[in-house]
Amino acid sequence: MSALAWLLPGLPGVTGVLLVLAGGLRRGGTGHGAGLGRDGHGGTRPAGTGHVRTGQGAGREETGHVRTGHGAGHGRSGRGGGAGGLAGRAAPVGAVAVAAATLVLAVLAAFTRPASSVPLFAGLRAGVEVDGLSAVLVVTVSAVALAVLVFSAGDTRELSAENTRGPSTGGTRELPAGGTGEAGRARCRFFGLMLLFTAAMLVTVTAVDLALLLMGWEVMGAMSYALIGFLWRDDARVRSAGIAFVTTRAGDAGLYVAAGCALAGTGSLELAGLAAGARPWHDLVAAGIVVAALGKSAQLPLSFWLSHAMAGPSPVSALLHSATMVAAGAYLLLRAQPLLAVTGWAAQAAAWAGALTALLLGAVALAQRDLKQLLAASTCAQLGFMVLAAGTGALAGGTAHLVAHAAVKSLLFLGAGAWLAALGTKDLRELRGAARRHRLVGVTFGVGALALGGVPPLSLWVTKESILSVVAERSPALYLLSLVAALLAAAYSAKAVTAVWRPRDPWTRDDSERRGTGRVGRLEGLPLPVLALAAATLGVVGLPPVFEAWRRLLGAGGEPGPGGDGLLATGITAIAVTVAVPLAVRRRAPEAPPLLRDWLGLERVAVALVWRPVMALARSLARFDDRVLDGVVRSVPRAGTAAARLARGRAEAGVDGLVRDVGTVTARLAGLARRPQTGQVHTYFAQAAVGLLLLAVVVALAR
């Protein structure tokens, strides 16, 4: 069964590559670029360039859905375009089938626990293994991916309509005839990228060494960039993708530091042996892992990138926020918990970072007016509970919370995406009454939101208390922060439920142009009840018999389960807050501070403390390079040229002077020789006489 360990991530990975390649095929069309990464408008611009704001305006998502009768519509794009249209029709079906097969393989792997490794470098091997923790994660990732892809198969309008438009100018520009296959190719690429995203997460959670984990980690980051900026003709989306990518890359550097220090300290990259290293190596490894995990999970102070991630299509948000990408950081800390415990300080750092994020980002979520921004901030806050669990040793509770949160958050984002498609908005003020108009989405969204708030008997009520029971034994201060964060969770969840279920004001006149479809498709609604059922029932792991088996599965012996008193207290409090929020809304509660709506100004702080100094240093180094280093390089040929000219001048002067001197002497001698040639006979006779006389003298002297 060792092949199963590689087949599990390999099936969606290979299929994803093939779909992306198929989506890149060009036959005819209009010549519009279809590839990802054509971000000539600043797609990799770092955070804080001033073009995209966090908070309410961050990652603004144009709805841009199909209007009936318009050529860029869903139906037309699916029927034309030759190879592009065929690929667009086949991609959703193929992706869903592969996701279903991956889920079957994940369940099989969870029971059989396969393991395999291959040589990587001299003395190093890269391997995958499904143990207790990864068994839980592979099933969770595969199940959520299947639900999201089923939803995406029913709602490809958000993908096709935007990508069949020209560069974003605020209007919808139809493609000329013959270009409709571009929408099909876009859908093909989208489903391929989603499968690659899933495969990268499966590699991450099954890797037994840092080398393979880094590969999955990096591919996941690249896929997140491609998916957030998938609708690449919108410059704002591409800039948001660049901000998210650059910010997470800053944290990812810690994982490279951890890998290098682990290799230097222990000679191995295996995750199981990280805690065995000696100081200072295991301290450096722990520091790198904590930094990488906090960045990936959008914890303080790098939380702002998750606001920009909302620029992606709703299915991307659902998958990214639930079972991939941001969950990878929490998983890594749970996996590295023995290392955190050995260092001591790393566990404390993770615990405090998680608690503060849960508290402060909970307040940010409560202040939001945009539904997706509210859910994004709540993701940071809920991941804070998982990071807190890793720091305090609550492995079983943290893992249970991760699984339950994956179901809840995917449900909420898919519900938000369904309303965005149907109504053309994600503004909470404009979503008033949305749940009453679309009852299936409204009921399932309500279940997910109440579960997110910790309302009993839903899942996060139990899983959150399983974390708090451990935190209470470790630190009263952390426990107090966690309790306040739990109250905020109930408040922002109640705010979302109240907004969508509150009756629409009959006197409100809305004469703005809507671009929503007005309906929720069958495939879009299909995964919602299943996810709602999971969100409601996954708290069963907190029951004493089940929690004992859960601890054995994860190897978390001795960890206390949720206590009855704690469950009662948090449950009653969550219910009280949930009831109080609608009353406060009716009385028109005061506006939240702008700082909270702007995500605590974290991006501006990053710009001031990191971006501007780094860019100033870069400009200084560029000037030094241009003026000094390049000046030295340029001076070398200049000096050579000058020396050559000088040498050439001297050589010319010497050689030409010698030639001229020889000529001058010869000419003078010739002039002297020419003087006796007067043409007079008596002169010649006199010269002959003198010559004979001289010859006679010479002969006489010679004797």
Mean pLDDT, the chain, integer: 84
Helix (H, G, I), strand (E, B) or coil at 142: helix
Q: Which of 418, 381, 364 is nearest to 531 (CA)?
A: 418
For residue 407, give both structure tokens: 């179901």
Least confident of 151-160, 470-479, 507-516, 661-670: 507-516
Q: Which of 205, 236, 213, 278 is nearest to 43 (CA)?
A: 236
- Cis, bond preceding 457 (omega within 30 deg of 0): yes
| Whether pLDDT at 502 is above 90 | no
More confident residue, 275 or 453: 453
For residue 279, give both structure tokens: 């100081």
Task: Output the CA torsion sign for 311, 313, 317, 323.
Answer: negative
The string of pLDDT tens digits covering residues 194-228 is 999 999 999 999 999 999 999 999 999 999 999 99
Contacts of 598 by beta carbon, 8 Å cutoff, 6+ apart: 53, 54, 55, 56, 604
pLDDT of residue 519: 75
Percentage, residues of the chain above pLDDT 70: 84
d(CA 179, CA 301): 45
pLDDT of residue 47: 41
| Whether pLDDT at 36 is above 50 | no
pLDDT of residue 681: 74
d(CA 236, CA 62): 10
The string of pLDDT tens digits covering residues 626-637 is 888 888 888 888
CA distances for 195 relative to 26, 83, 446, 535, angstroms: 22, 21, 29, 24
Helix (H, G, I), strand (E, B) or coil at 360: helix
Q: Residues of 500-532 as b/e, b for ≥16 C-beta within 10 angstroms?
A: bbbeeeeeeeeeeeebbbeebbebbbebbebbb
The string of pLDDT tens digits covering residues 248-297 is 999 999 999 999 999 998 888 999 989 887 889 989 999 999 999 999 99
Q: What is the DSSP string of 667-680?
A: HHHHHHHHTT--S-
What distance lies between CA 40 and its chain's CA centroid?
19
The string of pLDDT tens digits covering residues 321-369 is 998 899 999 999 999 999 999 999 999 999 999 999 999 999 999 999 9
d(CA 556, CA 335): 12
Task: Output the CA torsion sign for 318, 319, 323, 326.
Answer: negative
Do residues 358 and 381 lie in contact, with contact meaning Cβ atoms separated by under 8 Å?
yes
Q: Where are the domains of the chain?
A: 1-60+74-169+179-242+298-334, 346-504+520-597
pLDDT of residue 34: 34
∠ CA 248-251-253, nearest 5°, is 115
* Structure confidence at residue 589 as a pLDDT band (50, 70, 90): low
CA distances for 182 relative to 149, 186, 372, 498, angstroms: 20, 6, 28, 40
d(CA 246, CA 6): 30
Mean pLDDT, residues 106-123:
91
Q: Is 663 exposed, middle or buried, given 0-12, 13-18 or 19+ CB atoms closer than 10 A?
A: exposed
Q: In what helix (H) or strand (E) does residue 127 lie, and over which residues does it extend?
A: strand 124-129
| Whether pLDDT at 649 is above 80 | no
| Whether pLDDT at 44 is above 70 | no
Neighbouring CB atoms inside 10 A of 270's CB total: 18
Q: Which of 523, 535, 355, 555 is nearest to 458 (CA)?
A: 535
d(CA 65, CA 248): 30
More confident residue, 213 or 170: 213
More confident residue, 348 or 39: 348
C-alpha count within 13 angstroms, C-beta hemisphere, residue 7: 15
Q: Which amino acid is at 67?
A: R
pLDDT of residue 515: 54
Q: Which of 198, 143, 148 is nearest to 10 (CA)?
A: 198
